Chain A
Amino acid sequence: MVMEIVDILEKILILAGMVTLGFAIGMLFNGIARKVSARIQNRVGPPVYQGFIDVFKLFGKKTNISHGWIFDLAALFSVSGIALAFLFLPVAGYSMLSTDGDLFLILYLLAIPALGFALGAGASGNPNAAVGVMRALMSMLAYELPLVMVMVAMMVYYNTTSLANIVAAQANMQWAFFIPIFFIGALVADMALQGMLMEKPFDIPIAPHEIATGPMVEFGGKHLGALMLYKMMGTVVETTLFVDLFLGGGVVLSVAQYGWLAYLVNFAVWFVLILIVFLIAVMIDNVLPRFRIEQALKFYWKYDALIAIFILIWIFAGVKI
């Protein structure tokens, strides 16, 4: 009985640690992205820990104007939803809550925080927020089609819907990225990732110069702090999903063979990989202007989805022959 309680407590501690790590990496990534953008634009830029300062400042604001209880809960909804998605993902080959890391479940979990975001924006009653939410849902519809098709192709190829099994199949550097057909798939998914991360040219929902940061227009103080945490954690979750699918999830040493050293090395490799994936997105963000919503829809459904369909047909044919 005592052992069970100790076990549960240990598990809760590990979960809390992982969520804290995810938030910390997200805040660090925010600072890194701003620093890299600044260097690209020949500026000095803020310090890399600027993300931490911003979030702590927002949580230290004295007044917090609320627009009803949905508005209050929506920010919490977003943060907890994204934390849950992070715990269901295999991070460096290690899944916290589920040993399977089912891909369909993760896709649903990724939709929860976005819906929370939309609820809060709707409760604020600002017309800019309504436009922003409409655009966010439209771009979600646009980028999820090619992404899901590439995912289905991978499920068929590896004959599993479990992300953990896909990661395990890519052990010993047998990355899906090195298989020619999935190299193209990775490019398709990377474009979808650009939309998921809301970086240019797909930062249509936020668009500070057009619709005043869209859904976030009425958020300030602690509410905005929670939303920033959601967005920062979102970058970690989405890049981790990409790394899990195509880059072997950062697993280089097997845990059974090397013990705790394997965890250390795997987490370091995972961190470097998600940083590289994120920096590619930031660099694309810095050189491209913004699409209009119908241009984004056209791009995803006309080019990205077409290539994804080609990959899907290729994989199905390959399985049958």
Chain B
Amino acid sequence: MKHEEWKKISRIMSKRSLWMVHFCTGCGAMEMPPVMTSRYDMERFGIFAMATPRQADVFLVTGYLAVKTLKRVVQVYEQMRDPKYVIGFGSCTINGGMYWDSYNTIKDLSKYIPVDVYIAGCMPRPEAIIDSFLKLMDMIDKGEAIGWQKYRKYYDQYKRNQKMAFEYRLDEVKPIKEDDKNES
């Protein structure tokens, strides 16, 4: 019981203080300055852009990922401390977007690293970005943002998919098979 209460407090704390590292691939990075600065000020929710992945909680992948970029994304993700959350930004991270038939661009980011929240749109407006952060906060509060636990649990599958992608065998990448039970 005590442990549960402590978990609840730590969730409230980590919900109100999301430090973000935004990985500026693609054009998505363009939408970040208005979200950070005076117009849509995201610091009022406690979201703050950090300089290094070691200090960050949220990983924002802004836009399409070439295979070369994916290597760096995996490195950055593995450098972050648990609990960590990923936001996939724009339609490129969902299904490839306008790069859907490209030979060296990955289509679905969640096959390589676990994604907690997706933002649809090309480009998503700053309102949509803030909305996704609020959604993530809600999920953390309910204990649903468990992507970092999934990455540990299905590490073999994620690693296999990453390896296939690095060898440009993109058609051999499979969706992650999950058990029924996921506990927070």
Contact = CB atoms under 8 A, between A and B. Distances in A.
A160 interface: no
B24 interface: no
Contact of B52 (A41, A46, A61, A212): A212
Interface string B55-90: 101000000000000000000000011110000000
A50 B41 contact: no
A292 interface: no
B124 interface: no
B111 interface: no
B69 to A, nearest CB: 19
Contacts, number: 78
Contact of B43 (A46, A217, A220): A46
A54 B80 CA distance: 16
Contact of A57 (B17, B37, B44, B52): B17
Contacts of A50: 16-17, 46
Contacts of B43: 34, 38, 43-46
Nearest to B36: A43
A64 interface: yes
B46 to A, nearest CB: 5
Given A60-B14, A64-B81, A224 B55 contact: yes
A42 interface: yes
B54 interface: yes
B21 to A, nearest CB: 10
B38 A41 contact: yes
A123 to B, nearest CB: 14
Nearest to A44: B44
Contact of A53 (B17, B44, B55): B17
Contacts of A64: 81
Given A43-B43, A57-B17, A219 B82 contact: no
B10 interface: yes
Contacts of A63: 81-82
Given A38-B41, A45-B44, A62-B82, A57 B13 contact: yes
B51 A54 contact: no
Given A61-B82, A61-B83, A43 B54 contact: no
B54 A217 contact: yes
Interface in A64-98: 64-65
7 contacts: A56-B10, A56-B13, A61-B82, A62-B81, A212-B52, A220-B54, A220-B81
Nearest to A34: B43
A206 to B, nearest CB: 9
Nearest to B149: A62
A69 B12 CA distance: 31
Contacts of A41: 37-38
Residue among B16, B45, B57 with max Cβ neighbours from chain A (10 Å) = B16
Contact of A43 (B17, B38, B50, B57): B38
A213 interface: yes
